[in-house]
Structure 1
Amino acid sequence: MSGEGPHRGEPRPGRGGRGGGKRGGDVLRLPGPLLRHRAARRPQTVPLLPYPSSAVLGTAGRSHAELDRRARAVAARLGALLQPGSRVMLVYPQGPDLAGAFFGCLYAGMTAIPLVLPAPGATEAVPAAVRRCAPDLVLTGGDTWTPLAVDRNRTAVVEADGVRVGGEPVWRLAQSWRTVGVLRSAPAYQRHHDDGAVGGRLEAAMGHGDLSDVMGELAQAVRLGTDEENVGWIAAVHGVEDAVWRILLPVHLDAGR
């Protein structure tokens, strides 16, 4: 499915070599492999933000092992339907389903385009966003699959939550997942801006290495005592929306190590 504009291209060039090179550490520091590492070493640890009012907002209090299991299941289903490099829109409110779907895209080597719902069922903006972004597939929760006003002859819609993905049990799909290698520069995330009547717009893709570098900067800010609002501001300056840094940063911090 063809898209329009620069959002179909390569990840945007970054400062100081972001998107290429080795800044930010080896492949283990990329968000997907890092979660796999955490799940293997500290499966029951719950990744948290160091801010009491929103400590579990991004990962919703799920352990490394649970996030990894959800991600592997989503990635296995995506891999059966699409090629690596495909673009997947995630239609969820904040919570564990969004976190599992986002990491699942990273595990599958596909680009996540979050469309974060303000509340469960608040799907009015979805049709225009799908037309504008032209994703290869839409992932959404079981409670919103039916009401999504999406032409399924043009765009596949798959239900994915903590129990089933595409109708199959998460535990079974998770066991069938096979590792997909990704480059630091491979597209991982695109931010969608809802501009109302015009249908929104997409920023250029960020690579896996870009996300790793931004999370490294945010983690350093946290270690220096930066408050939650300013951590969010730093993330926004780098093009990472609120829901996404709240998913990735707790795993990067891993306060229980």
Structure 2
Amino acid sequence: MSDFNKDDYLKDLPDVDSLNGENASGTAGGSHEQNAPTTAGGQSDAAASGVDQPHHEASDANKAGSAAPSDAKPATAADGNKQAAQSAQADAQRASADAADNGKDGDADHDKDGSLTPLGQAKKEAAEYLEALQRERAEFINYRNRMNKEREQSRQYGIVDVLTSLLPALDDIDRIREHGQMDDSFKAVATKIDKTFAKFGVEKFGEKGEDFDPTKHEAVLQKPDPEAKKETVDTVVEAGYRIGDRVVRAARVVVSMPQS
């Protein structure tokens, strides 16, 4: 590769003056070539177009503007109100149609095909659980009432058994009390026994002079009495006992009968 010589390269370049002359001649020729051709009347096409074109465009715009709105009518407030009313009516019809569709499709518990939604299924299960709970509660209340009744009956049966076993002793206490052969200490014991039975609901009945009642009195003897106007208890042989409405033992009595 030969060495580059800067002096030889600069000698081969053209002068600046010659380059300026060529540019000036090119510019003059170019300017004559770019001049617009003249018309037969002595005016160039560019001049004619520059003068006449804006005039024609303005006239065309005026014509278009005057012809376009000639058939249109200015909008009024009545037209605006009419359009608003029509729009409101359309919205109301749309809302009613949507409500009808919602009613047709079903409520929140059912789908369009009639099947239960998750919310509807949950409500159904809650209703079933509530019904089962109420049924169980009613059964429990009946069971509790039945057990209370059975417990009370069992309690009464126990009292009846004890009372039945003690009836002979109680009858002896009554005979001793009737004949006046009871001292103070024995009276205190007899009083405690009576209070104890009264505490458990045991009621003693049967007194001389009361009306005879076959539902609670057992007549062991009947004697005519000219002064008697109706059947009355003359003598109590053995007192009667009852618990509530249940008669444990009827009072055994002697009945005074009126003479016929």
Which TM-score bucket, shorter chain as reference?
Answer: under 0.3
- Which fold has the larger relative contact order, with Cα–Cα distance below 8 Å and residues 6 or more apart in sequence? 1
